[in-house]
């Protein structure tokens, strides 16, 4: 067993509905300890896991018919009006409770039927909070609430569950999604879906397997369903302002939360609890937050870039954090089109969440959240604009998932999101090492696998170490 069953641990985190951190200061009220001194080692050095192999073998069992994909109740026409589609939530934190709220709000005849989280206290809190908002749509018996590091497995093993919604830290995502696909479940997977090349390969294999199974995978890249994004990008693709020459992407804010360690936590429990600051779990801000901009750019450009060259550093992160304060990357997309990317989380700095696309006949600006989109011609005259409604987009992804299952045409979109997550990892690899890194190298040759191969939730972990360009090796 890759993740041995262990006692769950407790923490004081809140379970309020979460979206990506707002552009105003989202810093946790706990004070940041001072920044630690530099270290030369890349956290990837110790990372190797055997999961990829295990996943491939497991997926092969579905192909061989060893695992049966059970038809989803509610997808069968004769039962559609009677049987609800039952959702199991894995990761009952801020976004998990937000995502299940979105699904139950927009969909009829669906229920939250099981909850899993490493922390036991999260379970009741989410069950109670969700039941309060959604009368009659929460049906989670005591024995359907699972805690501990292998809690997700109880949901995958549960024949009553049709759809599994994953909102754990991203480092777990590739493995969990692959196992869910192998168990014949439909999946909703939050972004990013991987944080390294090894996880990317698992995602590609899971995507393929879901297509063979006839099971859905929808991902938490809500901007793909946000009307102003869709309309702006449609016009770009129609050539309304000519050919795309270059673009900028910015995801800059004034900070992110940091969770202090509690005395009873093992090293690994603490890293999972404070996951944002451990690269094997979050992928750093370029993957964790800015993947939204990167996903938008891959969508606009028609696929991932050919190469990345970047830089960055850290001045303000607390001791124990592996995150950088800022990352800048020049991505080269096919057709020699440059996309200049920047993300930053530094207190007191000006926020910006925007994508600006420069074309032969004008410029298109698409801002994150509800900030809208516009197109101007070469003289700067506005020729189109539209407001944004991110709340509607957050719900639409859950409607599309359930509708696609009920229609018998399950959406499988993991590859696109894995491409975008890998594009973020590519940019991080370039910036951390100070080298020009190609997509081809990162996806075909790189051996980078950040997940601890000796993962034990109760066990020790090496001290967090952050990357130093010129010393951190390109693996």
Q: Between 119 and 413, whose beta carbon lies closer to ligand NAD?
A: 119
Report, in Å, the least distance between residue 220 CB and ligand NAD: 4
- Nearest-Å Rg of the Cα atoms of the chain is 21
Other CB atoms within 10 A of residue 151 CB: 25
Within 8 A by CB and 6+ apart from 37, the residues are: none
Tokens 């998932």 locate to 401
Q: Between 295 and 328, whose beta carbon lies closer to ligand NAD?
A: 295
Q: Between 90 and 232, whose beta carbon lies closer to ligand NAD?
A: 90
Q: Between 119 and 182, whose beta carbon lies closer to ligand NAD?
A: 119
Contact 109, 85 (CB under 8 A): yes
Contact 220, 189 (CB under 8 A): yes
Q: Where are the beta strands (DSSP E) in 72-227?
A: 85-90, 110-117, 145-147, 163-166, 186-189, 217-219
Report, in Å, the least distance between residue 86 CB and ligand NAD: 18
171: number of CA atoms within 13 Å, CB side?
23
Residue number of the CB atom closest to ligand NAD: 93
- Pull the structure tokens for residue 409: 């045409």
382-386, strands of its sheet edge to edge: 382-386, 373-377, 362-367, 352-359, 244-253, 337-345, 326-333, 307-313, 437-438
Report, in Å, the least distance between residue 276 CB and ligand NAD: 8
Report, in Å, the least distance between residue 48 CB and ligand NAD: 19
Residue 283 is given by DSSP the state -
Q: Between 190 and 328, whose beta carbon lies closer to ligand NAD?
A: 190
Q: Between 417 and 472, whose beta carbon lies closer to ligand NAD?
A: 417
Report, in Å, the least distance between residue 219 CB and ligand NAD: 9
Of 228, 163, 209, 212, nearest in space to 189 by CA: 163
Q: Between 116 and 375, whose beta carbon lies closer to ligand NAD?
A: 116
Secondary element (H or E) of residue 78: none
**What gap in Å lies between CA 395 and CA 380, rounded to an integer?**
34
110-117, strands of its sheet edge to edge: 145-147, 110-117, 85-90, 163-166, 186-189, 217-219
Q: Between 118 and 414, whose beta carbon lies closer to ligand NAD?
A: 118
Sign of the alpha-carbon torsion through 412, 415, 418, 424 = negative
Backbone angles phi, psi at 205, to 5 degrees: -65, -40
Report, in Å, the least distance between residue 347 CB and ligand NAD: 20
Q: Between 96 and 452, whose beta carbon lies closer to ligand NAD?
A: 96
Report, in Å, the least distance between residue 129 CB and ligand NAD: 13
Report, in Å, the least distance between residue 126 CB and ligand NAD: 9
| Residues in touch with ligand NAD (CB under 6 A) | 18-20, 90-96, 116-119, 122, 149, 151-152, 167-170, 172, 190-191, 220, 222, 272, 288
Report, in Å, the least distance between residue 47 CB and ligand NAD: 17
């Amino acid at each position: 067993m890759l993740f041995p069953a262990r006692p769950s641990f407790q923490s004081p985190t809140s379970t309020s509905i979460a979206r990506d951190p707002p552009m105003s200061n989202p810093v946790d009220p706990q004070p940041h300890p001072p920044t630690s001194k530099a270290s030369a080692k890349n956290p990837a050095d110790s990372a190797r896991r055997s999961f990829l192999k295990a996943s491939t073998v497991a997926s092969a069992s579905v192909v061989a018919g060893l695992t049966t994909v059970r038809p989803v109740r509610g997808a069968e026409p004769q039962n559609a009006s009677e049987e609800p589609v039952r959702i199991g939530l894995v990761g009952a934190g801020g976004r998990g409770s937000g995502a299940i709220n979105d699904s139950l709000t927009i969909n009829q005849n669906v229920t939250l039927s099981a909850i899993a989280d490493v922390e036991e206290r999260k379970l009741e809190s989410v069950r109670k909070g969700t039941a309060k908002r959604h009368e009659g749509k929460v049906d989670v018996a005591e024995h359907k609430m699972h805690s501990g590091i292998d809690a997700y497995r109880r949901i995958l093993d549960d024949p009553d569950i049709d759809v599994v919604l994953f909102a754990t830290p991203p480092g777990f995502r590739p493995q969990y999604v692959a196992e869910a696909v192998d168990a014949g479940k439909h999946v909703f997977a939050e972004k990013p879906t991987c944080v390294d090349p090894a996880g990317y390969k698992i995602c590609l294999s899971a995507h393929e397997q879901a297509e063979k199974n006839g099971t859905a995978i929808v991902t938490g890249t809500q901007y793909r369903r946000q009307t102003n994004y869709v309309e702006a990008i449609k016009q770009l693709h129609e050539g309304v302002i000519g050919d795309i020459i270059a673009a900028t992407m910015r995801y800059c804010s004034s900070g992110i939360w940091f969770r202090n360690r509690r005395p009873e936590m093992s090293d690994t429990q603490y890293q999972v609890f404070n996951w944002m600051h451990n690269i094997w779990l979050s992928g750093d801000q370029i993957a964790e937050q800015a993947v939204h901009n990167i996903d938008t750019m891959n969508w606009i450009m028609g696929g991932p870039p050919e190469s990345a060259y970047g830089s960055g550093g850290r001045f303000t992160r607390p001791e124990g954090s592996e995150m950088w304060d800022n990352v800048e990357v020049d991505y080269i997309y096919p057709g020699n089109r440059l996309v200049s990317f920047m993300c930053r989380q530094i207190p007191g700095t000006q926020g910006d969440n925007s994508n600006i696309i420069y074309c032969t006949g004008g410029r298109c600006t698409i801002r994150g959240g509800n900030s809208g989109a516009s197109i101007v011609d070469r003289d700067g005259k506005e020729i189109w604009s539209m407001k944004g409604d991110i709340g509607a987009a957050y719900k639409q992804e859950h409607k599309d998932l359930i509708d696609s299952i009920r229609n018998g045409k399950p959406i499988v979109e993991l590859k696109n999101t894995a491409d975008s997550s890998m594009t973020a990892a590519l940019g991080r690899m370039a910036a951390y090492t100070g080298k020009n890194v190609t997509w081809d190298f990162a996806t075909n040759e790189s051996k980078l696998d950040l997940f601890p191969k000796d993962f034990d939730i109760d066990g020790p972990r090496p001290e967090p170490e952050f990357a130093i360009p010129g010393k951190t090796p390109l693996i």
